[in-house]
Amino acid sequence: MNMTTNISGAIRTAVLSILLCCVVYTLVIWAIAQLFVPNTANGSLVKNEAGEYVGSRQVAQEFTQDKYFHSRPSAADYNGAGAVGSNLTPTSPKITERAREIIKKYGATAGNLIPADMVTASGSGLDPHITLAAAKFQAPRVAKARGISEAELEKIIASQVEYPGGVMRNEPIVNVLMLNLALDRKR
Amino acid sequence: MIYSFLLAIAVLGLSILISLPLGKWMFKMMCPAPDLMGPAHRKVEGFFHKVIGRAAEADQNWKQYTVSLLIFNTIMFVVVTGVLAFQQFLPLNPDGQKAIEGSLIFNTVTSFVTNTNLQHYSGESTLSYFSQLFGIMWLQFVSAATGLAAVTAASRWLGGSRERNNFYLDMCRATFLVILPVAAIGATLLVLCGLPMTFDGAAVVHTLEGAVQTIARGPVAVEVIIKQLGTNGGGFFGPNSTHPLENVGFYSNIIECISLVIIPIGCVWMFGMITKHRKHALVIFAVMTVLCLVKLGCAITFESEPAVALHDLPVAEASNLEGKELRLGAGASPLWAVFTTCTSNGSVNSMHCSLNPLTGLIPLVGMWFNITFGGIGVGFLGLFTYIIVGVFICGMMVGRTPEYLGKKVETREMKYALPALLMHPLCILGGMAIFCLIPAWGRDTVLNPGFHGFTEMLYEFTSSSANNGSGFEGLGDNTVPWNIACGLVMLIGRFIPIIFQLAICGSLFAKKEVPETVGTLKTDTALFGVVIGGTVVFIGALLFLPVAVLGPIAEYLTTLVH
């Protein structure tokens, strides 16, 4: 086989693969997605009661007010277009420092331990969940700020609990944005 | 922790189950027997011949096959360099991504051509949708297919098959009949799990507290599945499958996890069928699986320890959650860390830089071996190099000419095997030596000081040379020295071994078959498995023991002082 035949074979193979793998395949999957699951296919955006988009169910946002449950710490500053983890080694004094500040802010003590997910930054900086334990830990503050009973709040939390993997017994988790939306709806 | 083990066993078991029929399918598609082909299959083959043209008629020997492979890879390089260099003028750029810096283009193109997928950029803030689809994703398909084509040809030569070898035909079969159909099934499943698949630009919303949040999205699902299946690893978003839109929950995580290993395991079965040495393939598979299980056990155990930095604080006891995502579950991250470095994939679902010190050693070991399933095709070829060396050592011990699959292994094969084997440590340790000597290139770019910083650099070179692509992302690696050094290491780590491995296969193919005698080392016994396993561990790991001690092990030892 001479060089010209060789190169022409390579180019023809390349063109066919671009057509099938990049154009046809992408369009078929896109059509399936937009036809059957348009909401998640467009980023799982959620609306509030007024019908305005307030975020994505899959992407954490920052909560600072007492009346809302707070998300996990974010190395990305909750930037949905610049996800990043802290990349700190678990032996890093910077983690200790950050944890101390958070512990002070929430007033955790030896008798009222703070769940580990609230003092560790998630891998993407956009983890939309906290553990059920972390929700319960924050419940007294939220109940007080909203002037509702803790029992009532527990009920709302319970309606939002997810069990990843079912039988695999993973830690139960709560989606922070959905929980806060549920709280706002109750108001 | 017990559930983490159960999850690991379940996912590995399921992957093996899927790989069995997949391996058979791969064999049927890659080596179609003319008299067994159905009419549809015949038409497809005819179509391939027509598209490729006259180049499809040649029966190539190993040299011609390698030349075609290199020509095709050069075209891959040129096309995607063009796509990335001109992305600001090309369509499908709703978020207005700008021009990319030159050394970053070189690094990125090299990274994806070599099936490494090391990323010194963050997808959502650097690449347009056009670059993602026609640059990155295209290379993810064809670089994986290149590996599959290479292992198919190598198996034909080793098995003494008289079938025609034609690189372009093999490429078409690998891309369109093996990888693309599996990717289409997987992408559909991921879309149903909830991954985004849209051409709209980033969404801008007002959060509940009134802040403005920009949420990057795009045609994510199609790229995520091929990055998993093709042992590629380059994600759509910066944090890869850690990102909640790239890995939406427990079940998408399982699908992505299984996709990491099924084609590499399938390659082993396919090798057995092509060479007609199925029991030998089973022994190879057993060696790979045992090594994988040992790594899984270690990683899960080490990672169940809490982060040392939280010691003595009023924090509830839990496994190390720094750099992890809650929806994926506790055992998901060490499992993935092992799978992604068993194969040469390199996608991540947690930040490897934030793994506990000893857990961080496990992915490193995986990449030093780089063969416990390995990259598509090239992983198997890597183990093949160890087999040649192992067989040779055994032959020397009993004092007769070593044989492998009925062919004598002699000086020429060993001459080819050594560079294929030694290029890996040379790239890693040599690169480390240079970057340790020049603080501006190495030390000043790490995030975590001390031993962990050393590991960040070690991981970068290891990942480049192993064509893996994961990283200790604390490293500020988008600098000109890192971009160029890693680019060169990836090229050497990919093409030097492939060329020599194909050379060995071609050389063995040309030899006369020697009849089996009582003195022949049988390749389908447990003893042979032990020999290969031993060769891998001793040669693969001992070379790296000093750097392992200087990095992760030293960091672990400092934690004992507290």
Task: Give the pLDDT confidence of B179-192 residue by residue, as tens digits.
Answer: 999 999 999 999 99
Residue A36 structural domain:
3-40
Summarize pLDDT for A58-107 with one digit per residue, the tens: 999 999 999 999 999 999 999 999 999 999 999 999 999 999 999 999 99
Q: Is residue A56 domain-shared with residue A140, that is, in the same domain?
A: yes
Q: Is residue A22 domain-shared with residue A69, that is, in the same domain?
A: no
pLDDT band at B376 (very low <50, low <70, confident <90, very high): confident
Question: What is the pTM for the complete model shown?
Answer: 0.95
Asked if residue B109 lies in contact with residue B79, where contact means CB atoms within 8 angstroms, the answer is no
pLDDT band at A41 (very low <50, low <70, confident <90, very high): very high
> Do the domain assignments include residue B244?
yes
pLDDT band at B378 (very low <50, low <70, confident <90, very high): confident
Q: Is residue A13 domain-shared with residue A72, that is, in the same domain?
A: no
Backbone angles phi, psi at B315, to 5 degrees: -120, 135
> Which segments of B249-350 does DSSP mark as H helices, in order?
250-275, 278-303, 332-342
ipTM score assigned to the predicted complex: 0.95
Q: List, edge to edge, every strand of the sheet that includes A161-162.
A: A129-131, A173-175, A161-162
Name the token pair of B417: 């095997």
Name the token pair of B521: 């080392």
Asked if residue B309 lies in contact with residue A95, where contact means CB atoms within 8 angstroms, the answer is yes
State the Cα–Cα distance between residues B525 and B155, nearest whole angstrom.
Answer: 20
Residues B180, A12: C-beta atoms closer than 8 Å: no
Closest CA to B463 of B428, B498, B436: B428
* DSSP structure class, residue B474: T
Closest CA to B531 of B335, B401, B392: B392
Summarize pLDDT for B393-437 with one digit per residue, the tens: 988 888 888 989 999 999 999 999 999 999 999 999 999 999 999
Q: Is residue A94 domain-shared with residue A172, that is, in the same domain?
A: yes
Tokens 């860390």 locate to B337
Query: Out of B80-89, B220-229, B511-520, which region has the weakest mean confidence (pLDDT)?
Result: B511-520
Q: Is residue A100 domain-shared with residue A140, that is, in the same domain?
A: yes
Asked if residue A122 lies in contact with residue A88, where contact means CB atoms within 8 angstroms, the answer is no
> Do the domain assignments include residue B185?
yes
Residues A85, B239: C-beta atoms closer than 8 Å: yes
Residue A140 has pLDDT above 90, yes or no: yes
Q: Is residue A15 domain-shared with residue A34, that is, in the same domain?
A: yes
B44 in contact with A at a CB cutoff of 8 Å? no
Q: Is residue A36 domain-shared with residue A57, that is, in the same domain?
A: no
Q: Is residue A165 domain-shared with residue A94, that is, in the same domain?
A: yes
pLDDT average, residue stretch B484-512: 94
What percentage of chain B exceeds 70 in pLDDT? 100
Summarize pLDDT for B537-559 with one digit per residue, the tens: 988 878 899 999 999 999 999 99
Nearest to A42 among B176, B188, B196 (CB): B196
> Do the domain assignments include residue B222?
yes
Summarize pLDDT for A119-130 with one digit per residue, the tens: 999 999 999 999
Residue A54 has pLDDT above 90, yes or no: yes
Summarize pLDDT for B336-366 with one digit per residue, the tens: 999 999 999 999 999 999 999 999 999 999 9
> Do the domain assignments include residue B226?
yes
Residues 224-263 of B with CB under 8 A from A: 237-239, 242-245, 248-250
Q: Say what the pLDDT of residue B295 is.
A: 95
pLDDT average, residue stretch B39-61: 95
Q: Is residue A86 domain-shared with residue A28, that is, in the same domain?
A: no
CA distance A158 to chain B (A): 17
Residue A167 has pLDDT above 80, yes or no: no
> Do the domain assignments include residue B108?
yes
Residue B128 has pLDDT above 70, yes or no: yes
- For chain A, the domain total comes to 2
- For B131, nearest residue in chain A (alpha carbons): A22
Q: Say what the pLDDT of residue B542 is.
A: 85
Residues B326, A55: C-beta atoms closer than 8 Å: no
B88 in contact with A at a CB cutoff of 8 Å? no
Residues 192-221 of B with CB under 8 A from A: 192, 194-200, 202-203, 205-209, 211, 213-217, 219, 221
Tokens 């199925």 locate to B278
> Do the domain assignments include residue B5?
no
* Cα torsion angle, B53, B54, B55, B57, sign: positive
- SS3 labels along B157-210: HHCCCCCCCCHHHHHHHHHHHHHHHHHHHHHHHHHHHCCCCCCCCCEEEECCCC
B53 in contact with A at a CB cutoff of 8 Å? yes
Residues 462-481 of B with CB under 8 A from A: 472-474
Asked if residue A123 lies in contact with residue B324, where contact means CB atoms within 8 angstroms, the answer is yes
Q: How many residue contacts between A and B have a Cβ separation below 8 Å?
A: 387
Residue A24's CB is within 10 A of a number of other CB atoms, namely 12
B9 in contact with A at a CB cutoff of 8 Å? no
Core vs surface per residue B501-519: b (16+ CB within 10 A) or e: bbbbbbbbbebeeeeeeee
State the Cα–Cα distance between residues A56 and A70, nearest whole angstrom.
Answer: 16
Residues B64, A1: C-beta atoms closer than 8 Å: yes
Residues A124, B244: C-beta atoms closer than 8 Å: yes
> Do the domain assignments include residue B532?
no
- For chain B, the domain total comes to 1
Residue A187 has pLDDT above 70, yes or no: no
Residue B32 structural domain:
28-261
Q: Is residue A106 domain-shared with residue A24, that is, in the same domain?
A: no
State the Cα–Cα distance between residues A127 and A123, nearest whole angstrom.
Answer: 8
Q: Is residue A27 domain-shared with residue A74, that is, in the same domain?
A: no
Summarize pLDDT for B484-497 with one digit per residue, the tens: 999 999 999 999 99
Q: Is residue A85 domain-shared with residue A16, that is, in the same domain?
A: no
Which helix (DSSP H) or strand (DSSP E) does residue B143 occupy? helix B138-158
pLDDT band at B562 (very low <50, low <70, confident <90, very high): low
B120 in contact with A at a CB cutoff of 8 Å? no
- For A77, nearest residue in chain B (alpha carbons): B213
